[in-house]
């Protein structure tokens, strides 16, 4: 496995992502990985490595700039609100990362998917709503932001969202609204609901946040990962790492 730090600029802001390549020299399907609201840290970088071990070329993206990781919740929320109210900026950030990924010679540019965690799901869905050629978008414990539901008609790939039943950031009303949006848009979508799981259920460090809405859930983490692989097997065919 090889890793390489990559830089890409969006409106003068330099993003610092990490490209992870599997063994071998052949072209491979590729995956964008968008981080949680706190910033690109070891959680998403670890997921990128796991995907590369399975045979995918992976770019763990940075959507704040300078690989900023927020420890102050108020600063983080201010940044999220700013991003969430500027969908064109979200799309530009996603497009820039997608261009970096597809420029990698190991990537089969006709076989690209995206996954996101928390607000990273918002970022990747907005990229898909911009008619990006993503064969699948998989979201883990998604957040939400204002957007035009009609733009979901531009989503061309499969969509899977994995949500904890006890996640206050995605209560039943929000889940129903997402379901209706996907249905009206004609998207090939799935929603998996994991009983007893809270927000950030994939992150082993969630329990250290001190926030009652966050908790790691081992079973939901494993089940949602398998569900993601199932979607990738559908759109790419099962891979054998080389």
Q: What ranges do the domains of the chain cover? A: 2-236
Nearest residue to 11 (alpha-carbon basis) of 120, 74, 124, 90: 90
CA angle (112 as vertex; 106, 118 as ends), nearest 5: 120
Crossing angle between the packed helical segments 119-129 and 73-84, to the nearest 10 degrees:
10
Please report which helix (H) or strand (E) contains residue 228, including its range. helix 218-236
Give the chain's count of helices (H) and strands (E).
6, 8
- pLDDT for res 242: 45
CA angle (88 as vertex; 164, 48 as ends), nearest 5: 45
> Tens of pLDDT along 119-144?
999 999 999 999 999 999 999 999 88
Query: How much of the chain is in helix, strand and coil states, percent to nearest 5?
Result: 40, 25, 35
> In b/e form, how buried is each residue of 192-222, taking b as 16+ CB within 10 angstroms?
bebeebbbbbbbeebeeeeeeebbbbeebbe
- pLDDT for res 147: 85
Reported CATH class of domain 2-236: alpha beta
> Tens of pLDDT along 59-116?
999 999 988 998 888 898 998 898 988 999 999 999 999 999 999 999 999 999 999 9
Calculate what percentage of the chain has a pLDDT beyond 90. Answer: 83
189 in Cβ contact with 159 (< 8 Å): yes
> What's the CA gap between 174 and 109, in Å, rounded?
33
Nearest residue to 200 (alpha-carbon basis) of 169, 238, 232: 169
pTM for this entry: 0.95
28 in Cβ contact with 59 (< 8 Å): no
What are the distances in angstroms from CA 201 to CA 4, 116, 125, 218? 28, 13, 20, 8
The token pair that represents 23 in the structure block: 């063994």
- The predicted model gives 24-49 an average pLDDT of 95
96 in Cβ contact with 10 (< 8 Å): yes
> What's the CA gap between 215 and 198, in Å, rounded?
6
With left for phi above 0 and alpha for psi between -120 and 50, is residue 202 left, alpha or beta?
A: alpha
């Amino acid at each position: 496995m090889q890793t390489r730090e990559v830089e890409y600029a969006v409106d003068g802001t330099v993003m610092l992502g990490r490209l992870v390549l599997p063994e071998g020299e052949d072209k491979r399907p590729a995956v964008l990985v968008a981080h949680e609201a706190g910033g690109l840290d070891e959680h998403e970088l670890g997921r990128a490595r796991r995907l590369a071990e399975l045979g995918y070329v992976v770019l763990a993206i940075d959507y704040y700039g300078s690989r900023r990781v927020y420890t102050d919740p108020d600063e983080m929320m201010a940044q999220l609100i700013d991003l969430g109210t500027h969908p064109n900026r979200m799309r530009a950030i996603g497009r820039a990362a997608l261009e970096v990924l597809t420029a990698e010679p190991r990537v089969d540019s006709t076989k690209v998917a995206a996954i996101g965690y928390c607000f990273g799901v918002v970022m990747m869905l907005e990229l898909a709503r911009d008619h990006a050629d993503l064969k699948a978008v998989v979201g883990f414990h998604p957040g939400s932001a204002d957007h035009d539901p009609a733009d979901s008609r531009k989503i061309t790939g499969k969509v899977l969202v994995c949500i904890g039943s006890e996640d206050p950031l995605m209560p039943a009303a929000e889940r129903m609204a997402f379901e209706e949006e996907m249905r009206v848009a004609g998207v090939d979508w799935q929603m998996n609901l994991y009983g007893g799981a809270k927000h950030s259920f994939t992150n082993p460090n969630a329990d250290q946040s001190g926030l009652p809405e966050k908790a790691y859930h081992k079973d939901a983490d494993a089940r949602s990962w398998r569900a993601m692989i199932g979607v990738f097997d559908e759109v790419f065919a099962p891979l054998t790492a080389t």
